[in-house]
Amino acid sequence: MPDPTQTQQPDLAEHLLRRMAANQYARGVRPNGTLACRDVELMRTVDTDNTAALQRIIDKHGWPGLSLVGQQAANAAWLITQHAGLDFQLRALDLIRDAVEHGEAASQHLAILTDRVLIQQEQPQLYGTQYLDRHDGRGYQLWEVFDPDNLDARRAEVGLGPAAYDPKLRIRH
């Protein structure tokens, strides 16, 4: 784990990293890289607690960007947002957009959150980052995409590779 003391707010960075670890643990990811069964109730509890904690951070500091907390903790804030409710995600979307414009967040994070919000609103996604598990053991299916002919151009604008090369889209035979 990178040294969180190389940030403006090392204690805040460490707090976000602990929250991310709890997020991943609740989803069955263990520190040694193995997977365990997911505990849905634990996930809900952790997500609710993490969202409330991130909201308090935002209220005090604004979006926890790169210069404030460093790359790993900024990634943690984004991951917490991915697992928050839609209302929080909508508020965070504007904050992350502003952070991207100021070099404080990754444009890929904005693209992924944008797609996640659109899917929850039952709209086609823009960047092709969200997938549906086929549940047949043969991989994933891309959720509906707005203007698929220009998908790769939009992906390139935010630093994502072409959708055809995304390993999640490969179908297992």
Residues in CB range of 23: below 8 A, 6 or more apart: 46, 47, 50, 76, 79, 80, 83
Longest dimension (CA), the chain: 51
- The token duo for 165 is 């090369």
Show the tokens assigned to 169: 């889209």
Block residue for tokens 């509890």: 45
| 52 φψ region: left (φ > 0), alpha (ψ -120 to 50), beta (else) | alpha
Looking at the whole model, is its pTM more than 0.95? no
Contact status, residue 91 vs residue 31, Cβ threshold 8 Å: no
Joined together, the tokens standing for residue 103 give 């070099």
Report DSSP letters for 37-51, one per residue. Answer: ---HHHHHHHHHHHH
Long-range pairs for 147-155: beta carbons < 8 A, 24 or more residues apart = 151/127, 154/126, 154/127, 155/111, 155/127, 155/128
Domain range annotation of the chain: 4-105, 131-169
Q: pLDDT tens digits for 7-30? A: 899 999 999 999 999 998 888 866
Question: Any bridge partners for residue 142, and if so which?
Answer: 131
Q: Give residue 31's pLDDT.
A: 66
Query: What is the average pLDDT across 33-40?
Result: 68
The pLDDT assigned to 140 comes to 78
Assess whether pLDDT exceeds 50 at residue 1. no
Cβ-contact 113, 161 below 8 angstroms: no
- Please state, in angstroms and as integers, the Cα–Cα distance from residue 46 to each residue in 24, 27, 41, following that order: 10, 10, 9
pLDDT tens column, 111-157? 999 999 999 999 999 999 998 877 777 777 888 999 999 999 999 99
pLDDT at 55 over 90: yes
Q: To the nearest whole percent, how much of the chain has pLDDT over 70?
A: 86
